Chain A
């Protein structure tokens, strides 16, 4: 059913192919080469020893975090979508908080609550334990990443076809057996995606170990410290290679799993997926564990908000607006820059991703698998490493051959231009639009386009008037994900920023390291609120018809379910995202 590609489409496709190779493959290869060629064998050997030591730490953190966070995500998803109880809608909302995560300050909150003289650990429980080190990192990452796992797994749960369960039940299987042999296997693709993403995020997180790691630093934070403290970007790149290897392995393992989706259900999601009978004990355990998780989330966010409004966070709780006045006295430019970057990247990256998905699925083209793979690779490359890759690649003139054709033109060097941070973010998040696009296209009537063509519409006209409106939900979902990610990103762009386009996260990292933690909380909170506000505006623009309908309908349940799905946008392995218009 693939159409023959017309000439302009082929040219467009070649351009896309070249730019993906140039902005994804070349930087990754460069950074690997740069790391390996870091000098005499002795230096490489020494660097390898250091990297292996920190790699051990990284894995020691990431493995349990992956297990725990995925388990908690699964648990919360089961509880909140398949068990009926009072207060469930509220809990569903709360669980989404970390989507607009205020960066870096969560770890500071943790120190104040559970530290040597922490409010909970010391003042309440009378313990004196140091929060710094291994356990601090694991706990913080679990809280942050369980939400990620929840979002992805819950989208699978909503799509599950419970007819299979019914069938098993009618055949006399016990509830436990049904769960383990029917329900769980149906969700395997999403669970593996969730586990992989949690693993990747944990591996590449440098902020948490930096703030509460103490002596226990991981490969990602050591990479940052090697550059900022030891003045050595080459050995840092060498460490980066060791960070890249397990990430790529995880990536391929997941690809292997999702390639075997033999169990996948094809029918429409069931409207009513709650368990009808469930033992009170099981129900109680599920709800209390999920409640515990949400309790942690609330404590974390409530405490950050408290920090923004009190004299001295964690010490003097008299209310004040001091930090906000201080905010007014500072430059606003970084916040504006953050919004500009996030908007630009979200629009371009999501659109490009969806268009690529569309081209790959509907046209007979070459190098399809290669392009798909290359566009997805940045998901597995830790941001900070990708950033160094850009640094070492684009300090050289763009397309070196250009000088021979236009000898008059001065070479275009991307490093030092404002556009480079846009480019890196666009290509880093390309896969999100690509995957949401794929998922939606599976349900698009393949005859739409030939029909339009037969009626005399050209490729472009067909795309703009027929196909794009159909793809809008995929674009919207990718937009939301990319917007929030870009607002809080730092690793990838930290070495590429210019004095004139510095972003808010960079400033928050600076302040979060100082003693003005109340102010850090304020800055982080402002960034979160700003992204929340813009997301609401975006939702209104995209869904204004839907919103009118929402007010008209009794409870707006259907709409709400869809909004959650759009927020999660978790179509990594081809989630069945129904076209509901």
Chain B
């Protein structure tokens, strides 16, 4: 009987030790990569095909695993191509914006390192994370190619591609009901669209918040809220998630849906009854950033990832695989992606909108409950 007991204790001990061991191996990899930079002299820059990074070391970095948080599964093929180029494997987990923020702050408080990089999400959550010390600043050399609006001045995050707010319109129902195809934000207020506009809840969706904050910023406080009050009347309910309205419009539950897009036309191509419309009088947008998580045990490899992603090679991959409008101007636009220069983008102060979030949402809540009465 004693043997059983000893065995049991042994098993528990092994389990306890086993849960420590992965960390040790990770640090080994990390220290191995640092050798190149500690020499003090001008670092040797590795030059790959269409990308370069001073932190990349082909010998030590093969087999390193980076953990990535993001908001979409579409990044998977991009990560696979990165692995082909560098031998660094990236495991990704798709979560909601706020979940990522919550997790990072948890991991930071405790000192547990799960994620090394964060790629895709709303700019406001990245700004929030940077303010709370959850990110490491890194001014990646290829990042210099980006417009200032696409990146953080301190280097906490760099935009990779654009997410643009557009409208998913059910053409069939517009015709059936004899409505005007919406072109401007005013067109959403037409009588026939009452109860037929689908919009995500700004309190729970980044798209929803971006839309209302941009409208307030562009139209001004007074005119902005006056417009939003009328818009509230048109919406039958505010859906919990940003991706819901498109689904509702495709199913005919609504006629126009306010929707975040990468710039692709897939939805239109797969659904002949759907049209994607970019408002003529301007629309909300935000960059899809990439950032290095504070506390990562693989800082060097994470920097390689950022360098690669912001390079011409990386951006071309994003444009092709994600079907997205990217931040670099020198990348050829693949067939089927909208040309950003033809779209009227709202001038947006992301920093300010991130700071005003609570205030704007409280006001929004007030107007919505007033309309319900």
Contact = CB atoms under 8 A, between A and B. Distances in A.
B102 A233 contact: yes
Contacts of A413: 110-112
Interface in B225-263: 236-241, 243-244, 246-247, 250-253
B24 to A, nearest CB: 9
Contact of B205 (A227, A229, A396, A506): A229
A312 interface: yes
Interface stretch (B15-23, B34-42, B43-51, B340-348): B15-23
A460 B205 contact: no
Interface residues of A, number: 67
B181 interface: no
A391 B68 CA distance: 19
Contacts of A465: none
B109 A115 contact: no
A195 interface: no
Contact of A312 (B23, B243, B271): B271
A41 to B, nearest CB: 19
Given A225-B240, A230-B203, A498 B5 contact: no
Interface in A33-64: none
A112 B94 CA distance: 27
Contact of A499 (B93, B96, B272, B273): B93
A116 B97 CA distance: 31
B113 interface: yes
Nearest to A406: B16
A549 interface: no
A111 B253 CA distance: 8
Contact of B98 (A229, A414, A415): A229
B140 interface: no
Contact of B73 (A497, A498, A507): A507
B4 A8 contact: yes
A502 interface: yes
A499 B237 contact: no
Interface in A103-138: 108, 111-112, 115-117, 122, 130-133
A228 B204 contact: yes
Contacts of A500: 65, 67, 91
B2 interface: yes
B246 A227 contact: no
Given A12-B8, A214-B239, A228-B99, A331 B76 contact: yes
B172 to A, nearest CB: 9
A507 B173 CA distance: 32
A515 B250 contact: yes
B278 to A, nearest CB: 17
Nearest to B202: A229
B201 interface: yes
A311 B270 CA distance: 8
A510 interface: yes
Contact of A116 (B92, B109, B239, B252): B252
Contact of B267 (A117, A215, A419, A515): A515
Interface string B105-116: 011011111110
B62 interface: no
Contacts of B20: 409-410, 412
Given A12-B8, A409-B20, A510-B73, A415 B106 contact: yes
A517 B93 CA distance: 21
A331 B128 CA distance: 32
A577 B143 CA distance: 68
B47 to A, nearest CB: 29
B167 interface: no
Contacts of A217: 240
A448 B19 CA distance: 41
B360 interface: no
Given A231-B98, A499-B115, A515-B267, A214 B205 contact: no
A122 B107 CA distance: 50
B1 interface: yes
Interface string B1-16: 1101100100000011
A546 interface: no
A499 B253 contact: no
B356 interface: no
A460 B1 contact: yes
A414 B114 CA distance: 12
B252 A115 contact: yes
Nearest to A11: B5
A19 to B, nearest CB: 10
A130 B267 CA distance: 23
Contacts of B115: 499
Interface string B68-103: 110001001000000000000001111011110111
Contacts of A111: 251, 253
B371 to A, nearest CB: 12
A132 B201 contact: no
A128 to B, nearest CB: 10
A495 B114 CA distance: 13
Nearest to B109: A395
A513 interface: yes
A53 to B, nearest CB: 12
A229 B73 contact: no
B1 A459 contact: yes
A276 interface: no
A110 B198 CA distance: 18
A330 interface: yes
Contacts of B273: 315
Contacts of A231: 98, 101-102, 128
A327 interface: no
Given A331-B76, A513-B247, A410 B204 contact: no
Nearest to B249: A515
B114 A498 contact: yes
A214 B251 contact: no
Contacts of B67: 498-500
A437 B154 CA distance: 61
Contacts of A514: 243, 246-247
Contacts of A133: 237
Given A117-B173, A515-B168, 17 more contacts: A7-B1, A8-B4, A112-B251, A116-B253, A131-B253, A225-B204, A230-B98, A230-B203, A311-B270, A409-B20, A412-B20, A415-B112, A416-B107, A499-B69, A499-B92, A514-B243, A515-B267
8 contacts: A8-B5, A15-B8, A132-B253, A229-B96, A230-B98, A230-B204, A413-B112, A514-B246
Interface of B: 1-2, 4-5, 8, 15-16, 19-20, 23, 65, 67-69, 73, 76, 91-94, 96-99, 101-103, 106-107, 109-115, 128, 168, 173, 201, 203-205, 236-241, 243-244, 246-247, 250-253, 267, 270-273
Top 6 A-B pairs, shortest CB-CB distance? A229-B204, A117-B252, A499-B91, A228-B96, A499-B93, A214-B237
